Amino acid sequence: MASQRILIIGGGALGPKVACRLKRLRQDWEVTVVEQQEEIACSVCGIPYYISGDVSEIKGLMTASFQMVRSREFFENAKNVCVQTKTRALALDRKAKRVLVRHLETGDEQRLSYDKLVLATGRRPKSLDVPGCDLPGVISATTLRQAEDIRQRLSQGEVAKAVVVGAGPRGLEMTAAVSDLWGVETTLVEAGSHVLADLLDLPVARMVQQELQSRGVQVCLNESVTKIVSATGDNALEVVTSKQRLPADLVIVALGAEPRTELAVSAGLMVSPGGGVMVNQRLQTSDPDIYAGGGCIENLHLLTGRGTHFFEPSLAHRQGRVIGTNLAGDCAFFPGVIGSFTLKVFDLAVAGAGLTFEAARQEGLTPEAALVVQQDHAHFYPTQELIYLQLVVDRSSRRLLGVQGASANGDALVGRVNTIAALLLHRGTIEDLANLEAAYSPPYATALDIVNTVANTAENVVTGFNQSISVVDFQRLFLEEARDDIICLDVRGAANAAPFVARFKERWLNVPQETLKHRFSEIPRDKRIVLICNAGMRSYEALRQLQTHGFDNAVGLQGGVAALKKAGILIVE
């Protein structure tokens, strides 16, 4: 294949990856990356960890893993890739195969020719369109400059109070970053009904919310910012919401991001109604000489078969390789996304993949959810943490639809989520996961791994053997509405149950599961029964006993007292 000129617009994660992959395949081709910022290929995903102090120097976000700074010179010398920073692409002439660029320092303009073009223009943060959104101190924290500015203000003690707008992944990471090490009094304002609403169903979201609140963060849900004003008191700003006025020295806007597509739109490339550049599985746009990937495209969601807004920076790395291979004349495919994610919220890891129960319902599927609480390591091994994992499956097809969970052991949680993600990609069923051969050894797993247990529980739910309610429904029915036709039947030992019996009196019965078979006569038949145990296992055992003895109005509490406590719903000591 004759040497070609490849032009790449954008120097975030995707552009440099395309360039490096392509150059390794075709050393003699001319590859140029144009980037409007000063830096190239920086790890903007690391910004919260720089702000928190976990990453001590900003340079840490500008280096490759062997500590070389990813500078223009690095790309020239080590990768043989030509990089033009501080250079903005202004217009794309597809007929002439040229891009007009402006060098931002000199103002000089230049036309760059290409044989093949790559759009790697990424995403721009969504702005908070309210009065005062452009005041100093209102910031999106998406560039290294902004990160340095925030950290400097934090380290100089200039920030006593912060407001974070938006409880998506970046909002939560930034909340932890400013409040953990720096002790900033932080309020999180979210217009939706729960944190991480696009990624989690309510039971797991409540665990995240509890982690935030236990660390002193004020979480304001169903509340939107109406304006921001300069203040005259101790704090520089005041955030006015639909419900209150919040003083703040710093306002971090974290409303997500949207594809940057002006160049594509103006050049007449196909862009989806959702606003992303449309590509085929080889990541070609509607112009076969132009490829696109990363934040600026619309991805196919493999579980819904439709376009999705979902984006994760790691997608850009995988897509970059596919584009590089295709540019070189080989053939590679990027089939689509399933929505894997993880993040750290203080000391809690949160992760998931696929669809939430709610998203699956909206897709017209027939979802069921199963939540399991189980140790990461063998119960007799000295180091262990609990994993809280919810599986979403489709009742009719028995297909896996999604997983989400939380744990103090992030490595263990992410491992489980990735394992299930691999099956999601292959249209796996409940049975596939039940039989999945997870590696076992006491220091690293339980003999029946939680991925197997959660599949078994889902199967019991689908077949109707296991009938349960979530901690959120429990909260509403038993605690808030305090309905007198519902009682709890606590099947744990007397010592565990006693404080609950003391608090809820005749609404909370205690019959240890191992004595249940002799004590059916003590269980009321005219009430709805919620079975309670530590994590859900003994409740299920008791449920089966009750069902066999004609109790048709009993359900188990998903995840038991462990889940209630983790979600901050009921903590009785």
Among 422, 498, 501, 572, binds a second copy (CB under 8 A): 422
Side chain identity, residue 336: G
What track of x and - describes contact with a second copy for positions 473 through 512 (by CB under 8 A)?
-------------------x--------------------
Among 111, 145, 426, 519, binds a second copy (CB under 8 A): 426
Q: In sequence order, which residues have a C-beta less than 8 Å from that of residue 421 and are 6 or more positions away? A: 338, 340, 353, 354, 403
Using CB under 8 A as the binding rule, whether residue 346 contacts a second copy is answered as no
Number of residues that bind a second copy (CB under 8 A): 111
What track of x and - describes contact with a second copy for positions 347 through 386 (by CB under 8 A)?
--x-xxx--------------------xxx-xxxxx----
Q: How far is the CB of 200 from a second copy (least distance, A)?
A: 13
What track of x and - describes contact with a second copy for positions 287 through 316 (by CB under 8 A)?
-------------------------xxxx-
Q: Taking Cα atoms as reference points, which of 230, 253, 56 lies closest to residue 142?
A: 253
Nearer to a second copy, 268 or 443 (CB): 443
Nearer to a second copy, 56 or 232 (CB): 56
Q: How far is the CB of 35 from a second copy (least distance, A)?
A: 18
The two beta strands, 386-394 and 367-375, are antiparallel
Phi-psi region of 506 (alpha: psi -120 to 50; beta: other; left: phi over 0): alpha
Using CB under 8 A as the binding rule, whether residue 540 contacts a second copy is answered as yes
Piece of the chain touching a second copy by CB under 8 A; list 90-98, 189-197, 262-270, 416-424: 416-424
The two beta strands, 5-9 and 30-34, are parallel
Q: Taking Cα atoms as reference points, which of 36, 27, 26 lies closest to residue 15?
A: 36
Using CB under 8 A as the binding rule, whether residue 414 contacts a second copy is answered as yes
C-alpha count within 13 angstroms, C-beta hemisphere, residue 174: 32
Q: How far is the CB of 258 from a second copy (least distance, A)?
A: 20
The token pair that represents 520 in the structure block: 């059916």
The token pair that represents 35 in the structure block: 């980037």
Q: How far is the CB of 486 from a second copy (least distance, A)?
A: 24
Which 240-279 positions form the footprint of a second copy (CB under 8 A)? none
Among 5, 102, 317, 398, binds a second copy (CB under 8 A): 317
Piece of the chain touching a second copy by CB under 8 A; list 135-143, 147-155, 184-192, 407-415: 407-415
Q: How far is the CB of 429 from a second copy (least distance, A)?
A: 11
Which 546-565 positions form the footprint of a second copy (CB under 8 A)? 548
R_g of the chain computed on alpha carbons = 27
d(CA 289, CA 118): 9
How far CA 14 is from CA of 5, 123, 545, in Å, comes to 18, 12, 56
Among 5, 25, 30, 553, binds a second copy (CB under 8 A): 25
Using CB under 8 A as the binding rule, whether residue 335 contacts a second copy is answered as yes
Q: How far is the CB of 1 from a second copy (least distance, A)?
A: 14
Q: How far is the CB of 403 from a second copy (least distance, A)?
A: 10
- 8 A C-beta contact, residue 336 and residue 319: no
Using CB under 8 A as the binding rule, whether residue 80 contacts a second copy is answered as yes
Q: How far is the CB of 213 from a second copy (least distance, A)?
A: 21
Which 509-538 positions form the footprint of a second copy (CB under 8 A)? 513-515, 517, 533-535, 537-538
Which 428-447 positions form the footprint of a second copy (CB under 8 A)? 428, 431-432, 434-447
Using CB under 8 A as the binding rule, whether residue 339 contacts a second copy is answered as yes
C-alpha count within 13 angstroms, C-beta hemisphere, residue 517: 4
Q: What is the rounded (10 degree) CA torsion for 51, 54, 58, 60?
A: -150
- 8 A C-beta contact, residue 539 and residue 546: no
Q: How many CB atoms lie within 10 A of CB 556?
A: 29
Question: What are the helix (H) ranges across 169-216?
Answer: 169-180, 202-214
Using CB under 8 A as the binding rule, whether residue 333 contacts a second copy is answered as yes
Q: How far is the CB of 418 from a second copy (least distance, A)?
A: 4
Nearer to a second copy, 88 or 520 (CB): 520
d(CA 510, CA 516): 10
Q: In sequence order, which residues have a C-beta less than 8 Å from that of residue 331 and are 6 or more positions away? A: 282, 325
How far CA 301 is from CA of 50, 310, 420, in Å, comes to 32, 8, 16
Using CB under 8 A as the binding rule, whether residue 43 contacts a second copy is answered as yes
Q: How far is the CB of 358 from a second copy (least distance, A)?
A: 20
Piece of the chain touching a second copy by CB under 8 A; list 83-91, 219-227, 288-296, 424-432: 424-432
- 8 A C-beta contact, residue 281 and residue 245: no
Nearer to a second copy, 151 or 321 (CB): 321
Q: Taking Cα atoms as reference points, which of 239, 278, 250 lies closest to residue 161?
A: 250
Which 57-76 positions form the footprint of a second copy (CB under 8 A)? 60-61, 63-66, 68, 74
Phi-psi region of 248 (alpha: psi -120 to 50; beta: other; left: phi over 0): beta
Which 212-231 positions form the footprint of a second copy (CB under 8 A)? none
Using CB under 8 A as the binding rule, whether residue 411 contacts a second copy is answered as yes
Using CB under 8 A as the binding rule, whether residue 28 contacts a second copy is answered as yes
User: In angstroms, how far apart are the furthest CA atoms of the chain?
Assistant: 89
Among 237, 417, 458, 472, binds a second copy (CB under 8 A): 417
Residue where the block lists tokens 């919310």: 209
